[in-house]
Amino acid sequence: MSEKHLTYADSGVDISKEEKTVKTLIEKLSYVRKGIGAPLTGIGHYAGLLDFGEYALALTTDGVGSKVLIANEMKRWNTVGIDCIAMNVNDLLAIGAEPVAFVDYLAVEKHDESFAAQIGEGLVKGAEISRISIVGGETATLPGIIKGFDLAGTCLGIVRKDQIIEGGKVSVGDVIVGIPSSGVHSNGYTLVRKIIEESSYSYHDPCPYDSSKTIGDELLTPTRIYIEILDVLKACEVHGLAHITGSGLLKLRRVTKLGFDFYDPLEPQEIFKFLQKEGVVKDLEMYRTFNMGMGFLIILPEKDATKAIEITGGKIVGKIVESGIRVKDLVIE
């Protein structure tokens, strides 16, 4: 095992460069519609919001990412459809919107009916969990561009304007309820693959901590869909919500400029400990790349925390402070 400390940038994904690319792109998107359908927010939150009378329509788009390469290696594609829907639905939930409909985009190198059936199996499972309809999509055959396949989608949600959760009500002293992830979810897989490929393990080897499944199967565990957030919104006074995805806790800046003190974080699952050990990845890099066991966060007054915990199975992991992002003694930002 190499003693080099692997990073997300080493594996090919430089978050700072990605942010500059996104900023450059957004600067060119100057035209906005007026009247019905006009944007209610700028670009950069978890979802885009459009004026629709007393309601706002919410739109998200996302994909499975390089997790699909592990599905190809294992020749098991029946879970990545769940991931595709989860990544979109969870972003809608993070602004308080109820997901209602979905369209997918499947790009393939070549056609295979058994492969397509497995993709459909995952998509319908994700739709059932999310209580949404898949109303269409696009399949593209791109042998000159795609090697294998890529899967992405767009989800539509709806929320009353007075119930949008953007983080404006987050206050110092609010508590943070962390909800467990199901594992790595669908982010950071470029680093995951780099770690496995440079280790003595293969995706087909048994998990060192659970010989009943392979490393590949563990890494294909589908992203958890946090649809129970809708029940929390009905029962509690919620000030902020966060879906922890790519770049880990750094995306909390979408919610508030205030600080986050995670003094009692959820314990990361064994898969994170395995990856960190094999890649000799520093703690800071882990929390800046992966969800580290906390897939979704609810920010709310302490008086409502018990109810939120009952609904979600989470726990209080921290509190809102004046500035910074800290996990115990580890300074994230």
What CATH number is attached to the domain comprising 320?
3.90.650.10
Question: What whole-number distance in Å separates Cα of residue 157 and Cα of residue 38?
Answer: 16
Residues 206, 141 within the same domain: no
Nearest to 68, CA basis, from 137, 130, 136, 152: 152
**Confidence (pLDDT) at 177:** 98
Residues 140, 184 within the same domain: no
Q: Assess if residue 46 is contained within a domain.
A: yes
How does DSSP assign 184-246, residue by residue?
STTS-HHHHHHHHHTSS--TTSEETTEEEEEHHHHHTPPPPP-TTHHHHHHHS---EEEE--T
Chain centroid, CA 270 distance in Å: 19
Residues 280, 181 within the same domain: yes
Q: Is residue 330 within 8 Å of 324, Cβ to Cβ? A: no
Q: Is residue 56 within 8 Å of 50, Cβ to Cβ? A: yes
**Confidence (pLDDT) at 3:** 65
**Confidence (pLDDT) at 84:** 98
Nearest to 286, CA basis, from 272, 303, 300: 272
Residues 213, 274 within the same domain: yes
Per the structure, how many domains does the chain have? 2
Question: What whole-number distance in Å separates Cα of residue 234 and Cα of residue 313?
Answer: 16
pTM score of the predicted model:
0.94
Q: Which of 124, 158, 192 is the last residue of a domain?
A: 158
Q: Assess if residue 91 is contained within a domain.
A: yes
**Confidence (pLDDT) at 324:** 96
Residues 234, 320 within the same domain: yes
Q: Assess if residue 231 is contained within a domain.
A: yes
Residue 105 maps to which CATH number? Answer: 3.30.1330.10
Residue-range definition of the domain harbouring residue 66? 31-158
Q: Assess if residue 19 is contained within a domain.
A: no
Q: Assess if residue 1 is contained within a domain.
A: no
Q: How many helices (H) and strands (E) does the chain have?
A: 11, 14
Q: Give the residue carrying structure tokens 């295979």.
A: 112
DSSP state of 94: T
Question: Tens of pLDDT along the chain (333 residues)?
Answer: 446 788 888 788 877 787 788 888 888 888 889 999 999 988 889 999 999 999 999 999 999 999 999 999 999 999 999 999 999 999 999 999 999 999 999 999 999 999 999 999 999 999 999 999 999 999 999 999 999 999 999 999 999 999 999 999 999 999 999 999 999 999 999 999 999 999 999 999 999 999 999 999 999 999 999 999 999 999 999 999 999 998 889 889 999 999 999 999 999 999 999 999 999 999 999 999 999 999 999 999 999 999 999 999 999 999 999 999 999 999 998
Q: Is residue 126 within 8 Å of 185, Cβ to Cβ? A: no
Name the burial class of residue 125, with classes exposed (0-12), middle (13-18) and buried (19+) by CB atoms within 10 angstroms of its CB: middle
